[in-house]
């Protein structure tokens, strides 16, 4: 597991404490009932803190799964 994956799992784990480390990589809005709008905003705040990113809340609709979040963070980290 690369470092970014581990940090992302930590972020997801703090927002969705009931998910196991194994469940997180396949987590999505459809599979996690607790992933509502408040959780989405909290997840964005946690990602900003962890990776030092400025995430525009307009991008929220893109961030619908762990994989999508990973791609988003990777893209924006590289742009820094």
Partner 1 sequence: MNLIEALEILKQAVPEDEHPLRVFLACGFTPLHLQTFLAAHLRRLLPQELVEVKTGLFGDLAGSIERLQTSECDVLAVVIEWQDLDPRLGIRSLGGWRTTDLPDVVKSTDQAVCRLEQALRRAASSISICVCMPTLPLPPLFTTPTRQAGDYELQLRQLVASFAASISNESSVCVLNSQRLDELSPPHSRFDVQSELMAGFPYKLTHASAVAELLAALIQNPTPKKGLITDLDDTLWSGILGEIGTDGVSWDLDKHTHMHGLYQQFLVSLASTGVLIAVASKNDPALVEKAFERGDMILSKENVYPLEVHWSRKSESTQRILKTWNIGPEAAVFIDDSPMEVAEVKAAFPEMECIVFPNNDYQAIWDLLKRMRDLFGKSIVSTEDSIRLESIRGAGSLREALEVSGDSLDDFLQSADASIRFTFGKQAADSRAFELINKTNQFNLNGKRLSDAAWKTYLNDPAAFLMTASYEDKFGPLGKIEVLLGRIQGKVLRIDSWVMSCRAFSRRIEHQSLKQLFQKFDAEEICFDYQATPRNGPLQEFFAELLGAPPVTDLRFSRTTFSGRSPSLFHRVEEVVNG
Residue 32 has φ and ψ, to the nearest 5°, of -115, 105
H or E element: which one contains 77?
A: helix 66-79
Q: Which stretch binds partner 1 (CB under 8 A): 19-27, 36-44, 69-77?
A: 36-44
CA atoms of 49 and 38, how far apart (whole Å)? 17
- Confirm or reject binding of residue 34 to partner 1 (CB under 8 A): no
- Confirm or reject binding of residue 8 to partner 1 (CB under 8 A): no
Residue 79, token pair as written in the block: 């742009």
- Confirm or reject binding of residue 51 to partner 1 (CB under 8 A): no
- Confirm or reject binding of residue 21 to partner 1 (CB under 8 A): no
- Confirm or reject binding of residue 29 to partner 1 (CB under 8 A): no
- Confirm or reject binding of residue 14 to partner 1 (CB under 8 A): yes
Considering only CA atoms, give the Rg of the chain.
11
Residue 10, token pair as written in the block: 């930590």
Binding site residues, partner 1, CB under 8 A = 10-11, 14-15, 17, 38, 41-42, 45-46, 48-50, 56-58
């Amino acid at each position: 597991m690369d470092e970014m994956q581990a940090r992302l799992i930590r972020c997801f784990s703090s927002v969705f404490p009931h998910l196991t480390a194994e469940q997180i990589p396949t987590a999505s809005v459809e599979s996690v009932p607790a992933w509502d709008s408040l959780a989405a905003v909290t997840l964005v705040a946690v990602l900003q803190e962890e990776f030092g990113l400025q995430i525009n809340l307009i991008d929220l609709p893109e961030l619908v799964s762990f994989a999508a979040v990973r791609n988003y963070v990777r893209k924006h980290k590289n742009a820094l």
